[in-house]
Structure 1
Amino acid sequence: EQRRGKTAVPVKTLKEIGKKLTEVPKGFEAHKTIVRFLENRRQSIESGEGIDWSTAEALAFGAILLDGNPIRLSGQDSERGTFSQRHSVLYDQRDETRYIPLNNLSAAQAGYEVINSMLSEEAVLGFEYGYSLAEPKALTLWEAQFGDFANGAQVVFDQFISSGERKWLRMSGL
């Protein structure tokens, strides 16, 4: 349907994104486990086989950023991923310099922001709801580290996310 737009990403573009996602700057000393992780990710992207959830997520984020849409992701341990699957922020083993591959795809891309939030789901989700209203073009994401952690934010789900548009005529992309 025309109003939905085109959401496909050419394989060539995905491979270009994948190349950038699996490179680190010269002189950057990534942990040996991360080097192995990046190599496995690179191989799966090049072959098109064995692409796991976190790799698909990273490729999708990259495509969204290259389209000019910023992404903000928050939650406990969101940089690394709860199960060590994401690794969207890499740390140099010598001086703890941060490197974020998703912010190094292209000079013209939008920004990627990932925040390791405190263990206060209601406060964090409430903030992200407000952020999503102020930045409607951004893809704003909050992830509960574990499913039952979302229980602490139930009021925000009930009173803002699920009913905010009807109450205040303001849409949220959270």
Structure 2
Amino acid sequence: MQADRIIVQSEDFHVPAEYQQIAGDNGDGAVVTFVGKVRDFNDGSAVTDLTLEHYPGMTEAVLHKIVAEARERWPLNFVTIIHRVGTMHLGEQIVFIGVSSAHRKAAFAACEFLIDFLKTKAPFWKLEASPDGAHWVEARDSDEQAAQAWNNGDS
């Protein structure tokens, strides 16, 4: 039974509850999760807060496309993406990605693929606050290269 959950919300999420949502099928031999958090630095500069904005409707549509592409590449059962928006403080959770599959290699690869493409394709905008003021975060070359590697078959 395949099921996708794509959620964009301001509220925090509870990782154990999300794990239970995707781990219930006895045919799955692997469950892989990823949680991204607000860290205290970026590109060598201090960060105090992170505000994420998005384009409602478009964001969810893009996330569904990314999941569909992952499903074309790997045999997946459950897929969950939860992405927070609004202002978050140091150490707070930003994103949860969870996948289940009969096989661990598919689950690991799909989870990595999903975060790589989410960071480069989903319409989220990041405003970082620091002791020196706030600034919008540009896309990183390393994120673009990671996503491109999947298209080149390097990952």
TM-score (ref. length: structure 2): 0.27
Structure number with bigger Rg? 1
Return the structure number with greater relative CO, CA threshold 8 A, min gap 6: 2
